[in-house]
C-alpha cells in the first residue's frame, strides 16, 4: 500500500498529538511495507544497570506500528492498540539509540497487525521482537 503521509507529516502529527513523547522518537524512513523508527535513548529510558527499560522498548514498538498504519491511512488519531507483545531477546548496547523496523502484515478496514524487530544502532542481532494489533475506527 502506498504511503499517504510523508516522514515529515508523521513527525508533525506526533508533535501535535503526542507532544509529551514526540521528542523521544524519530521517523527514520518509510519502507515498502512499514517504517523504520528511532528511539533517542536518554537517561529517562534506562533502568537500574544502565539498560533500556522494557516499557521504553514496548513504546518504540507501539509507536512504530502506529505510525506505519497512519502512513498508509492518514492521520487517524483514534486508532488504538488492542494487543501487544514483546519478546526481549538480548540486552541493548549501552548508550546507543534503538532502531525499530516495523512492517504491516495486515491493514484492513477495522484491524491492522504489525511485526517489529528492534536493534541497537550498529548491531545486527535484534534486542527485541514485537507484534501489535490495532483497531481502526470506522470512517465517518
Per-residue pLDDT reduced to its tens digit, 30-86: 999 999 999 999 999 998 888 999 999 999 999 999 999 999 999 988 999 999 999
What integer pLDDT is reported at residue 38 of this predicted model?
A: 98
Domains of the chain are 7-135 (3.10.129.10)
Give mean pLDDT, residues 3-11.
Answer: 95
pLDDT at 1 over 80: no
pLDDT at 11 over 80: yes
Is residue 137 within 8 Å of residue 76, measured between CB atoms? yes
- Residue with cell string 546507543: 96
The model's pTM:
0.95
Q: Where are the alpha helices (DSSP H) in the chain?
A: 7-17, 54-73
Is residue 4 within 8 Å of residue 74, measured between CB atoms? yes
Residues forming a β-bridge with 87: 129
Identify the band that residue 139 occupies on the pLDDT scale cut at 50, 70 and 90. Answer: confident
Q: What is the mean pLDDT of the chain?
A: 95
Kindly state the cell numbers that stand for 13: 502529527
- 95-113 b/e (C-beta count within 10 Å ≥ 16 → b): eebbbbbbbbeebeeeebb
Cα(70)–Cα(76) distance, rounded to whole angstroms?
7
pLDDT at 103 over 90: yes
pLDDT at 110 over 80: yes
Amino acid at each position: 500500500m502506498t504511503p499517504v503521509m510523508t516522514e515529515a507529516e508523521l513527525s508533525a502529527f506526533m508533535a501535535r498529538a503526542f507532544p509529551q513523547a514526540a521528542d523521544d522518537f524519530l521517523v527514520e524512513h518509510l519502507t515498502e511495507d512499514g517504517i523504520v523508527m528511532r528511539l533517542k535513548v536518554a537517561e529517562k529510558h534506562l533502568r537500574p544497570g544502565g539498560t533500556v527499560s522494557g516499557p521504553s522498548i514496548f513504546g518504540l514498538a507501539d509507536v512504530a506500528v502506529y505510525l506505519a498504519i497512519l502512513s498508509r491511512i492518514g492521520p487517524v488519531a483514534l486508532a488504538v492498540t488492542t494487543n501487544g507483545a514483546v519478546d526481549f531477546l538480548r540486552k541493548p548496547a549501552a548508550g546507543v539509540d534503538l532502531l525499530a523496523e516495523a512492517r504491516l502484515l495486515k491493514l484492513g478496514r477495522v484491524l491492522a497487525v504489525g511485526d517489529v524487530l528492534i536493534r541497537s544502532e550498529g548491531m545486527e542481532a535484534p534486542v527485541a521482537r514485537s507484534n501489535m494489533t490495532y483497531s481502526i475506527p470506522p470512517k465517518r
